[in-house]
Amino acid sequence: MTTVTKKTTNTMTTTRTATDHSGDVRLSGITKTYGSFTAVHPLDLTVPEGSFFALLGASGCGKTTTLRMIAGLEEPTAGTVSLGGQDVSHLPPYKRPVNTVFQSYALFPHLDVFENVAFGLRRRGIRSVRKQVEEMLELVQLGEHARKKPHQLSGGQQQRVAVARALINHPRVLLLDEPLGALDLKLRRQMQLELKRIQTEVGITFIHVTHDQEEAMTMADTVAVMNAGRVEQLGPPAELYENPRTTFVANFLGTSNLLEAEVDAASGDDIVLRAGVSTLVLPRARCSAPATAGGKVLAGVRPEKISLVHADDSGEVPAGRNRITGRIAATSFTGVSTQYVVDSPVCPRFEVYAQNVDRDPRLVPGAEVVLHWNPAHTFGLDAAQDIDAGVGTAEEEALA
Amino acid sequence: MTTTLTEAPPPVASTAQQRTPPRARGRLTPYWLLLPGVLWLLVFFLMPMVYQASTSVQTGSLEEGYQVTWHFATYWDALSEYWPQFVRSVLYAGSATVLCLLLGYPLAYLIAFRAGRWRTLVLILVIAPFFTSFLIRTLAWKTILADGGPVVGALNTLHVLDVTSWLGMTAGDRVLATPLAVVCGLTYNFLPFMILPLYTSLERIDGRLHEAAGDLYATPFTTFRKVTLPLSMPGVVSGTLLTFIPASGDYINADLLGSTDTRMIGNVIQTQFLRILDYPTAAALSFLLMAAILLVVTLYIRKSGTEDLV
């Protein structure tokens, strides 16, 4: 019997090395409609083998539907899903080399932890599962809980059983549907690192669906931000954060200060903008919208990139920085940093996060201030978009 | 009845108790709520039981009156005379329970997972027979199974009756007045008691468990065998108990659809009480039936081990 197990494992390893990088997940033109409602618009997506890929978006954006189409739990209305070159679009879930970690885990309540983990192996006719199950339970650090029933475990432990139950089958792709949604904040942080560790250890492609932008950025190599059934932008977390291409991404991923500005001159590597009385410089490379003199763009800057000085010290601001003046509307002290909301003529709620290194006692609500930042930290977006797209969605989700 | 009604906590009582410290009042509340139920059980369950128990050990006659003489021999006499009816009751009720399970499980499954927006309608249809009296419904079966009727005719043409006759369940080309008729009647009458608990336990199963099983390489049939069926076991157990217990004490079906050869223990008890007026024997038989059911049920629950399920 051990030979059988070994054989299976061997075959799996050889397949993986033989196929090398053709083990990608490819979605081509995949669409899902429910009656007149389109949950997922034609979507093309390639997830490279071995990557940790996150689908990020607010609820109802189509991310879970996309995941379920990969798992085979949802039939695509159009388009194909292929795994490592094989078209699996019409295979039932039990014939796909894919496993899922379900939201709220869906552990079998009548089976103990061991049998839950062994379920997939047994269904594939593998008899001697003990060694594999024990190894897997060791990997998720649940060795001593093997004979407990799921309801006797804590949320974090149940989550790890769900991961072990899926991973033991060596799927080509592991799908995670909001796997940490039911955990409290501290445990979630811990499990994020744990999942990342496991992914690095087993080298399987992970596709992770989440509404938590911080979670997506912490764990994934590549993040696809989805909105209303479409992928807004796709890229490594830092790239998405620093160079959002739409207002939705700029607002959904962290916080952005966006202000409407007129293009004064667009020559060379820099675009010169005018917003109210201020003149701002935006590197052309960081502007995703076509900028012609006289046109409009949205200039954006992240709150932590901005420095804040009292208006009396405005002379200390070095030359060549983008400057905006305003009055502090509110401050909140969060320990490591202080968050200021500044009311400026060009943007009514300019947010600034300042590290609490040397706190200036004059920076209290009502104080006149000058905001300044390195022009290289400015990004430009198409002014034709809704400036508030994606605002609040993230917070609403977190509260839900 | 009156006792129970007056004991229902009147609003006046709560205003009167406002003065007492909230903690003491809170501690007594559960007992006040229990009172009506406890009284009900005392008056309508425990007292008749005690009365019946004393009757079963009495001797005497209707004319001279009965005396408690601790005559336990009545039990032994009753058992040795009527054991065939006991065995028959268990057999008939058991067969009806199995039939109910075989018919009821697929139906409950369909209602729980496939009925969609028809679910409520189908559930109402399951309960609909209760709108007519038990007696009328059983009498209707007399017409359905009547000699020379379409059902018997069809069964005859299909040679089903040859098989059932060979099994001793029917006699010749008759269905009425045979064990088959009684079992059919019991199955029909107790089917809703099987379907409803089955439906409740199936409906409670999280649909994501089916998805999870499919995701872990289980075919739909394996999913049923390894996930759905084990999780619906509480429903199977309560459904079979709710069918078996009343079916084994039933006498209407055997009375209306059966013959003297299909008499169940319920018929014997009824005759003893109402026609022969041998109260001690009837009471003793009732206790024996209760003991028998208790024994069967205990063994069954032990064996099915449902306390392990969540």
Residue B302 pLDDT exceeds 70: yes
The 10s digit of each residue's pLDDT in B66-94 is 888 888 999 999 999 999 999 999 999 99
Full domain range(s) for residue A233: 2-242
> Residue B62: what pLDDT?
79
Contacts of B208 in chain A (CB under 8 A): 102-104, 106
Task: Give the closest of B214, B230, B309 to A94, CB-based.
Answer: B214
Residue B54 pLDDT exceeds 70: yes
At CB < 8 Å, which residues of chain B contact A?
206, 208-209, 211-219, 222, 226-227, 230-231, 308-310
Helix (H) or strand (E) holding A5: helix A2-19
Residue B14 pLDDT exceeds 50: no
> How buried is A138 (Cβ within 10 angstroms: 0-12 exposed, 13-18 middle, 19+ buried)?
exposed
pTM of the model: 0.78
A217 plus A350 within the same structural domain: no
Closest CA to B103 of B184, B220, B205: B184
Residue range A250-276: mean pLDDT, rounded: 89
> Residue A400: what pLDDT?
46
Question: If you measure CA to CA, which chain B residue comes closest to A125?
Answer: B217
Of A206, A222, A242, the residue that ends a domain is A242
What's chain B's length in residues? 310
Please, what is the average pLDDT of chain A?
87
Kindly report the number of other CB atoms within 10 A of residue A262's CB atom: 15
If you write DSSP's letter for every residue of A210-273 in order, what string do you get?
A: ES-HHHHHHH-SEEEEEETTEEEEEE-HHHHHHS--SHHHHHHSS--EEEEEEEEEEETTEEEE
What's chain A's length in residues? 400
Contact B216 A92 (CB under 8 A): no
Residue B247 pLDDT exceeds 90: yes
Question: If you measure CA to CA, which chain B residue comes closest to A92?
Answer: B214
Of A214, A242, A270, the residue that ends a domain is A242
A136 plus A195 within the same structural domain: yes
Strand bridging mode A379-382 / B58-61? unpaired
Kindly report the number of other CB atoms within 10 A of residue A21's CB atom: 9
Residue A399 pLDDT exceeds 90: no
Amino acid (1-letter code) at residue A295: G
The 10s digit of each residue's pLDDT in A4-28 is 333 333 333 333 443 455 678 999 9
Closest CA to A378 of A290, A252, A264, A250: A250
Q: How many whole angstroms from its chain centre is CA B81?
A: 25
Residue range A312-324: mean pLDDT, rounded: 90
Question: If you measure CA to CA, which chain B residue comes closest to A150?
Answer: B310
A148 plus A273 within the same structural domain: no
Give how far A290 is from chain B: nearest CA, Å.
47
Residue pairs spanning A and B at CB distance below 8 A: 66
Domain count, chain A: 2
Contact A106 B217 (CB under 8 A): no
Q: What whole-number distance in Å separates Cα of residue A320 and Cα of residue A302?
A: 18
> Residue A293: what pLDDT?
82
> Residue B9: what pLDDT?
45
The interface predicted TM-score (ipTM) is: 0.78
A151 plus A281 within the same structural domain: no
Contact B222 A71 (CB under 8 A): no
A94 plus A151 within the same structural domain: yes
A148 plus A227 within the same structural domain: yes
- Domains, chain B, in order of start with CATH, read 2-56 (no CATH), 74-308 (1.10.3720.10)
Residue range B18-44: mean pLDDT, rounded: 82
A271 plus A220 within the same structural domain: no
Q: How many CA atoms are closer than 13 Å to the CA of A371, on its beta-carbon side?
A: 30
> Residue B4: what pLDDT?
41
Token readout for A256 is: 């952005």
Closest CA to A115 of A139, A142, A89, A133: A133
Contact A119 B216 (CB under 8 A): yes
Token readout for B290 is: 């209760």
Contact A110 B230 (CB under 8 A): yes
Range among A260-274, A381-395, B30-44 with highest mean pLDDT value: B30-44
> Residue A341: what pLDDT?
94
A258 plus A231 within the same structural domain: no
Percent of chain B with pLDDT over 90: 67
A274, A278, A283, A289 alpha-carbon torsion, rounded to 10° = -40
Contacts of A124 in chain B (CB under 8 A): 217
Q: How many whole angstroms from its chain centre is CA A163?
A: 19
Residue range B11-31: mean pLDDT, rounded: 61
Non-local (6+) Cβ contacts of A216 within 8 A are A54, A56, A208, A210, A223, A237
Closest CA to A27 of A85, A82, A86: A82
Contacts of A163 in chain B (CB under 8 A): none
Q: Is A149 an 8 Å CB contact of chain B?
A: yes
Interface test with A, best of B206, B209, B217, B225 (most A CBs within 10 A): B217
Q: Is A71 an 8 Å CB contact of chain B?
A: yes
Closest CA to A258 of A393, A394, A392, A389: A389
Contact A119 B310 (CB under 8 A): no
The 10s digit of each residue's pLDDT in A83-141 is 988 899 999 999 999 999 998 899 999 999 999 999 999 999 998 899 999 999 988 88
> Residue B162: what pLDDT?
87
Non-local (6+) Cβ contacts of B213 within 8 A are A108, A119, B222, B223, B226, B227
Q: How confident is the model at residue A393 (pLDDT cuts 50, 70, 90)?
A: low
Percent of chain A with pLDDT over 90: 61
Residue B216 pLDDT exceeds 90: yes
Contact A120 B216 (CB under 8 A): yes
Closest CA to B218 of A248, A99, A274: A99
Residue B95 pLDDT exceeds 90: yes
- Whichever domain contains A381, its CATH number is 2.40.50.100
**Which range among A228-232, A331-335, B61-65, B218-222 shows the weakest confidence by mean pLDDT?**
B61-65
Interface test with B, best of A110, A111, A169, A207 (most B CBs within 10 A): A110
Query: What's phi and psi for A368, nearest 5 deg?
Result: -80, 135
**Is the distance from CB of A217 to CB of A200 less than 8 angstroms?**
no
Q: Is A165 an 8 Å CB contact of chain B?
A: yes
Q: How confident is the model at residue B305 (pLDDT cuts 50, 70, 90)?
A: low
The 10s digit of each residue's pLDDT in A68-78 is 999 999 999 99
A301 plus A335 within the same structural domain: yes
**For chain A, the helix, strand and coil percentages under 3-state DSSP, each to the nearest 5:** 35, 35, 35
Contacts of A169 in chain B (CB under 8 A): 216-217
Contacts of A110 in chain B (CB under 8 A): 227, 230-231, 308-310
Interface test with A, best of B201, B202, B215, B229 (most A CBs within 10 A): B215
Give how far B215 is from chain A: nearest CA, Å.
5
Percent of chain B with pLDDT over 70: 90
Of A242, A276, A296, the residue that ends a domain is A242
A225 plus A262 within the same structural domain: no
> Residue B13: what pLDDT?
44
> How buried is A187 (Cβ within 10 angstroms: 0-12 exposed, 13-18 middle, 19+ buried)?
middle
B97, B103, B104, B108 alpha-carbon torsion, rounded to 10° = 160
> How buried is A186 (Cβ within 10 angstroms: 0-12 exposed, 13-18 middle, 19+ buried)?
exposed
Question: If you measure CA to CA, which chain A residue comes closest to B208?
Answer: A106
Amino acid (1-letter code) at residue A178: E
A69 plus A133 within the same structural domain: yes
Residues A283, A287, A291, CA angle at the centre, nearest 5°? 100
A152 plus A25 within the same structural domain: yes
- Whichever domain contains A91, its CATH number is 3.40.50.300
Local structure of B264: helix, strand or coil: coil
> Residue A396: what pLDDT?
54
Q: Is A92 an 8 Å CB contact of chain B?
A: yes
Residue B103 pLDDT exceeds 80: yes
